[in-house]
């Protein structure tokens, strides 16, 4: 559905249960926005008469527009907004069949009148709707959405971390924790290590209990932190409260923490260089694979699911030791101070790109609205949005290349304290620190029969 009509109807409401027309339209617009559908026009009938025989001029006009191909679909809040009687439903089915227009209802899902099955469903729905014009469960759902839109928790409950109970003010010290955790996760740190760090520092949660990975994960994936409204995991619109994170940060966190690969970090990785070690012969990433005696190894693996040559092996212990020493040396070196300065610049640039991305998305929305109001033609709209879409794609590509160095905060020039802590850090945290500095570690071919560690086989590729 590309150019849709929204249909809303004010009906008689003796029990005061009907949904205001403004709410119907708001929900329909939100649906259109989420599905990239342009709203060409909103049709509203005032149908407050007690019986259902009254003509509906706007409904009639909308049907004519569909017939003429001006609209290729309809969005309504519920099927009962569209038809008031079986007769009206049958007429509507004829129209839909003739035009292949799509029908979507916000609370009833896709309403496929083009198939026999869909039509039967619609008839049954219509019959049910006549018996209970405003059923209870929908009202409850709607209430939940309203609460979500006001940024309130369903049924009260505890307040959201980072905000006061009324959800209209930021709690500064909690906002700092939110920002810090988000930055660390985005920089590659694990939920587990951020949690244990917060618990070690005795940072309280909202409930006063200690931090768990689930609590932290749910918190960071919440769109409310970037001032967005959310319902059932979907972002509905922008809220009125202050944001702690940017919408782009939320998007990155949700994709990162929603990624099933990431959920396997229940036990910390015991191979901190995973993903960084590459085979010098074929260039493949070497994978963690212990020897039969249990000693840890990085291996260039071949066979099903592997792309390597199968020729390069490296014991993990001495390699990790060497890399840690190299990293610690680097952190104390003059080069490194410059490197951090460069990374700080990079983070500032990332923030700028995030802002530009937001501006472009906003501009795209504005264009769609202007097109919907017929202030521009479809051709003008297509031409106008192309460069913006290109910019958005370019911004998104650039953002992926920015890697934060916030995991290194506090360690610059203090390699000694990092050295003392190193073995107490989780593998994920160690890996985050190493990968803030190193692009890859290439392992050259081994000499047959030689079993001692040969540092000359190891080539670290520094990021800066
Ligand atoms: Zn290889």
Residue 75 vs residues 3, 4, 21, 27, 420: alpha-carbon distances, Å: 10, 7, 13, 10, 62
- Residue 453 and residue 71: Cα distance in Å, rounded? 71
CB 392 within 8 A of CB 365: no
Q: What pLDDT was estimated at residue 133?
A: 44
279 CA → ligand 1 middle, Å = 5
Band of pLDDT at residue 358, cut at 50, 70 and 90: confident
313 CA → ligand 1 middle, Å = 9
Q: What pLDDT was estimated at residue 282?
A: 92
- DSSP reduced 3-state for 278: strand
The beta-strand segments (E) located in 182-250 are: 228-231, 234-238
Angle CA 369–371–375, to nearest 5: 105
309 CA → ligand 1 middle, Å = 4
Q: What pLDDT was estimated at residue 277?
A: 94
Q: Could you tell me the end-to-end alpha-carbon distance of the chain, in angstroms, rounded to an integer? A: 48
188 CA → ligand 1 middle, Å = 26
pLDDT tens, position by position, 183-242:
878 777 778 888 888 888 888 888 888 899 889 998 998 888 888 777 666 666 666 678
Closest CA to 62 of 34, 99, 31: 99
Residues with CB under 5 A from ligand 1 (ion): 279, 281-282, 284, 300, 308-309, 312
Beta bridge partners of 103: 74
Closest CA to 107 of 220, 196, 31: 31
pLDDT tens, position by position, 248-301:
788 788 877 876 544 443 333 478 888 899 999 999 989 888 777 777 889 998
304 CA → ligand 1 middle, Å = 15
282 CA → ligand 1 middle, Å = 4
- Residue 230 and residue 227: Cα distance in Å, rounded? 10
Where do we find the tokens 């027309």? 21
Q: Among residues of the chain, what percentage have pLDDT more than 70?
A: 74
pLDDT tens, position by position, 434-461:
887 888 999 998 877 777 888 889 998 8
433 CA → ligand 1 middle, Å = 26
pTM for this entry? 0.36
299 CA → ligand 1 middle, Å = 8
296 CA → ligand 1 middle, Å = 18
Q: Which two tokens stand for residue 192?
A: 């587990």
452 CA → ligand 1 middle, Å = 20
Closest CA to 204 of 155, 171, 249, 244: 171
285 CA → ligand 1 middle, Å = 8
């Amino acid at each position: 559905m590309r150019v849709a009509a929204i249909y809303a109807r004010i009906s008689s409401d003796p029990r005061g249960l009907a949904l205001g027309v403004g709410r119907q339209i708001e929900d329909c617009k939100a649906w259109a926005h989420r599905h990239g559908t342009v709203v060409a026009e909103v049709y509203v009938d005032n149908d407050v008469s007690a019986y259902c025989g009254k003509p509906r001029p706007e409904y009639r006009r909308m049907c004519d527009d569909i017939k003429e191909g001006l609209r290729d679909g309809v969005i309504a809040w519920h099927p009962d907004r569209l038809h008031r009687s079986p007769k009206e439903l049958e007429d509507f089915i004829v129209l839909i069949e003739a035009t292949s227009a799509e029908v979507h209802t916000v609370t009833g899902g896709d309403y496929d009148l083009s198939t026999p099955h869909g039509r039967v469903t619609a008839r049954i729905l219509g019959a049910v709707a006549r018996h209970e014009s405003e059923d209870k469960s929908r009202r409850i759902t709607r209430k939940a959405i309203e609460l979500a839109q006001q940024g309130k928790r369903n049924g009260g409950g505890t307040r959201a971390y980072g905000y006061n109970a009324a959800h209209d003010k930021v709690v500064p010290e909690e906002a700092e924790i939110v920002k810090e955790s988000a930055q660390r996760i985005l920089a590659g740190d694990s939920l587990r290590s951020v949690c244990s760090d917060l618990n070690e520092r005795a940072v309280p949660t909202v409930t006063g209990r200690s931090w768990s990975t689930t609590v932290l994960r749910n918190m960071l994936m919440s769109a409310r932190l970037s001032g967005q409204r959310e319902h059932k995991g979907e972002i509905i619109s922008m809220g009125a409260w202050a944001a702690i994170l940017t919408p782009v940060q939320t998007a990155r966190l949700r994709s990162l923490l929603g990624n099933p690969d990431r959920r396997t970090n229940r036990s910390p990785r015991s191979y901190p260089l995973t993903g960084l070690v590459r085979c010098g012969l074929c260039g493949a990433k070497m994978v963690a694979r212990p020897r039969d005696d249990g000693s840890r190894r990085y291996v260039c693996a071949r066979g099903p699911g592997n792309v390597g040559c199968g020729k390069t092996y490296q014991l993990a212990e001495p390699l990790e030791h060497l890399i840690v020493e190299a990293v610690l040396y680097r952190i104390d070196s003059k080069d490194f101070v410059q490197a951090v300065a460069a990374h700080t610049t990079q983070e500032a640039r990332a923030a700028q790109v995030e802002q530009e991305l937001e501006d472009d998305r906003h501009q795209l929305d504005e264009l769609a609205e202007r097109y919907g109001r017929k202030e521009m033609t479809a051709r003008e709209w297509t031409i106008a949005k192309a460069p913006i879409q290109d910019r958005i794609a370019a911004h998104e590509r650039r953002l992926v290349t920015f890697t934060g160095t916030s995991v290194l905060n506090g360690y610059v020039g203090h390699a000694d304290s990092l050295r003392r802590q190193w073995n107490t850090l989780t593998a994920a945290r160690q890996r985050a620190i190493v990968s803030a500095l190193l692009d890859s570690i290439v392992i050259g071919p081994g000499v047959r029969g030689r079993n001692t560690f040969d540092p000359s086989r190891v080539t670290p590729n520094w990021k800066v």
